[in-house]
Chains A and B, each alone.
Chain A
Amino acid sequence: KAGVTQTPRYLIKTRGQQVTLSCSPISGHRSVSWYQQTPGQGLQFLFEYFSETQRNKGNFPGRFSGRQFSNSRSEMNVSTLELGDSALYLCASSESGTQFTGELFFGEGSRLTVL
């Protein structure tokens, strides 16, 4: 099986712009979650989706949003970018139902730099 795929891998934006990141989970995985990784704050949970529904959201401002499509692919969007949004954004997927093991499978991440 192919792993979790995130695009783009690297991107540079300027303050005030918006960005959309994409994540394709492992085939058959219906749960997708997003994390922000920075040197200062570490790994912080953004939100999670299951069957196109947001089930949980972390403590981030409303500028951070996401969605999931019927094929389980997910996108996250950050509007009005700030310098502090520079980070590695990680997507993870996991099984559900009888296949559930608790493990999250991560993509390689999207490195966002805000200038």
Chain B
Amino acid sequence: AQTVTQSQPEMSVQEAETVTLSCTYDTSESDYYLFWYKQPPSRQMILVIRQEAYKQQNATENRFSVNFQKAAKSFSLKISDSQLGDAAMYFCAYRSAWQGAQKLVFGQGTRLTINP
């Protein structure tokens, strides 16, 4: 069974600074997706960034980028130029690439606080 581990329950960063959230996972599959989801206090889970395991290039979305190390099974999220609106719970998640498996395996989450 796949597992996802986020070792940082809480993180804080000054506005405009850069922060990195850590995530490691365990799987025996070779093809899968990795995600970072953001859950603001309003509760709706929003996709931040997505990485396909077969792609070696790290995904980027504006101020958000990942460091995907497939051999090490590591998938960290870097947020540059942090903004107050980035404050939320961040969840790392794994999903098999097989379309018949919609199941997401989540990490425990990291609560990110942005200090003005």
Contacts and interface: CB of A to CB of B under 8 A. Distances in A.
B106 interface: yes
A22 interface: no
A55 B35 CA distance: 22
Interface residues of A, number: 27
Contact of A43 (B47, B91, B99): B91
A37 B107 CA distance: 12
Nearest to B107: A42
Interface stretch (B37-45, B69-77, B78-86): B37-45
Interface in B94-116: 95, 97, 99-109
Contacts of A94: 102
A72 interface: no
A24 interface: no
A105 B104 CA distance: 11
B52 interface: yes
Nearest to A3: B44
A56 B43 CA distance: 25
Contacts of A96: 99
Nearest to A58: B103
A31 B107 CA distance: 22
Contacts of A55: 100-102
Contacts of B47: 103-105
Interface in A18-60: 31, 33, 35, 42-43, 45, 48, 50, 55-56, 58
Given A33-B102, A101-B50, 15 more contacts: A31-B102, A33-B104, A43-B109, A45-B105, A48-B102, A50-B100, A55-B101, A56-B102, A92-B102, A96-B99, A100-B99, A102-B52, A102-B97, A103-B50, A104-B102
Interface of A: 31, 33, 35, 42-43, 45, 48, 50, 55-56, 58, 88, 90, 92, 94, 96-97, 100-109
Interface of B: 33, 35, 37, 42-47, 50, 52, 91, 95, 97, 99-109
